[in-house]
Structure formats: structure tokens, C-alpha cells
Amino acid sequence: MKDDCIFCKIAEKLIDTVIVYEDEECIAFEDLNKQAPVHFLVIPKKHIGSLNVISVSDSHLIGRIFCKIKEIAAKAGISEGGYRVVANCNRDAGQEVFHLHFHVLGGRKFSWPPG
Ligand code: 5GP
Ligand code: ZN
């Protein structure tokens, strides 16, 4: 755990959060500032700062997270309609929290290209 990381604190249950899924490797919770009817974040419990610092040894973890995203999306009822998975990396993408996370958004139509 990184002491000054808000998502590490969420993973440690030190912050009140609506958790939608959890296992030994990852946790999914509702975004505080929802941008769609369904908007949750999936994070590894292990602190990884951003996509820029993932390594090959994280491959299994990242792969499992995507399998979980599929399952949680199905439970949330957005599989058929569709959903968007977003990982913002660094300044130009607007990353605000520097603990790797995947936004999962659904329940409405999204435009492309993104803003
Ligand atoms: P980023 O811009 O880094 O990709 O997204 C960070 C996301 O984390 C934002 O959508 C923001 O609403 C969410 N967020 C920031 N702090 C908290 C928090 O304390 N709890 C929850 N549930 N979400 C948070
Ligand atoms: Zn962290």
C-alpha cells in the first residue's frame, strides 16, 4: 500500500466506498462522480501508478481484471447494450488518480471520438 494513494486506501477499506466486486487481487467500486448510469472503477489491489509502469509480470493480473470487468458488466446489465472501458494515462488523458484503474461506463450511448 502507498500511504498517500486514495485508491490504496479504498482497497484497504479505509474510505467509505460502494464496492461492487472484490477478490484477493482486485476491487471494483462505484465512481464518486458518475459519468453514466453505470460507472464503476476496477483496480488492482497492488499499487501500480499508471499504464506507463505496468510490466510483463503484471500480465496475469491485468488479464484477470478484464475477465472480471466482463462479469461485473454482465451483472450490471450493460453487456448487451454495450459499455466503454477507459484507462486514462498521465496528463494529456486527464489522469487524476495515480493508481491504475479502469473506468467501466454503461447505460447510455457514448460518442466517438472522445473529448
Ligand atoms: P482518472 O481521471 O484518474 O482516470 O479518474 C479518477 C476517477 O476516480 C474519477 O472519475 C473520480 O471521480 C474517481 N474518484 C476520485 N476519488 C474518489 C474516491 O474517493 N472515491 C471514489 N469512489 N471515486 C473517486
Ligand atoms: Zn495505490
Residues identified as active-site: 101
Q: Answer yes or no: is 114 within a domain.
A: no
Q: Answer yes or no: is 111 within a domain.
A: no
Long-range contacts at 70-76 (CB < 8 A, ≥ 24 apart) = 71/21, 72/20, 72/21, 72/28, 72/40, 72/42, 72/104, 73/104, 73/106, 75/20, 76/20, 76/38, 76/40, 76/106
> CATH number for the domain including 40?
3.30.428.10
Identify the domain containing residue 91 by its residue range.
6-106
Ligand 1 within 6 A of 53 CB? Answer: no
Digit-coded pLDDT (tens) for 37-85: 999 999 999 999 999 999 999 999 999 999 999 999 999 999 999 999 9
Looking at the CA of residue 88, tell me the nearest atom of ligand 1: 4
Looking at the CA of residue 39, tell me the nearest atom of ligand 1: 10
pTM: 0.97
Q: Answer yes or no: is 115 within a domain.
A: no
